[in-house]
Structure 1
């Protein structure tokens, strides 16, 4: 099969038209992921923060908008780190004026964590224009197009997280079909590394 010269060769997929489409989608996902990682690095540099510190502030911002209380234990679970690590991280963010900790009004054993006005303004100034550009990219999509993209991304999230495979279900796939007997699969060359997945 003649492959579009703009599509990089893959040793991971077959020569079927369906896998050719899939390979183009995976390449687009890899390109998006690279651009997103660059954006995250720029944001971290601009705010002089690490990835986990930004994740804490984003989590606190969403929790505040939803009216949810957040404790240090909640944040440790969200990041998948120890309570000692989250305490050190919260200490840094408190010293920089990005969050505050206070006793729970009715349960004095609990500590509540919230972002400060300073953090909210800095996050908005740093990310607002980028979020506006991302939302603009969704303008003009029909309901069916939005549903198709959303459904696809959910399936990819499930596939990358290995949730359905571990559970023995097929939730991340539209259908599981055996390869066509006429399909020629390109095998990974001896000594070659497996291609990077879009994750």
Structure 2
């Protein structure tokens, strides 16, 4: 099996990912991942939207599993098989904000304990790192802001790579608010 990162938005499919997808006969992915890879999928390929993530480990060896962004950043890279990296929301957010990736500390709040994620983010920010927080729709940016010193900058990065991409920057004293469900948060002294 191959787990292929399709990028975090349109036009972010790498040449290697496109080549593997073009040669696939069996593909699984979320609706969003399939749409991002649509132009590379051959017409004769059997394509399935993932409905049960637990069953992915039992797919045949020739299956290609599409993962949004990069499979190793809160994606499907845990599955057995070869991982083909993709362009992640981390890469895009830090590029847009002109921040070096070497300063990044990754915290996931996606489907996880938000209180713990805020505590982890605070610890990293106070240690001088720039936190890249993978949020879910229920994550409250205000809760993160309340835990940080007022001067710390916070960026809400939404729909990265899509035409409606939006990056709003504020401070912990006046944090930006997400407008939609597909967002990440960058926080630190930057």
Same fold (TM over 0.5): no
> Is the strand fraction higher in 1 or 2?
2
Which TM class, normalised by the smaller chain length?
under 0.3
Higher relative contact order (CA 8 A, sep 6+): 1
Q: Which has the higher helix share?
A: 1
- Structure with larger Rg: 1
**TM-score (norm: length of structure 1):** 0.25
Question: Normalising by structure 2, what TM-score?
Answer: 0.25
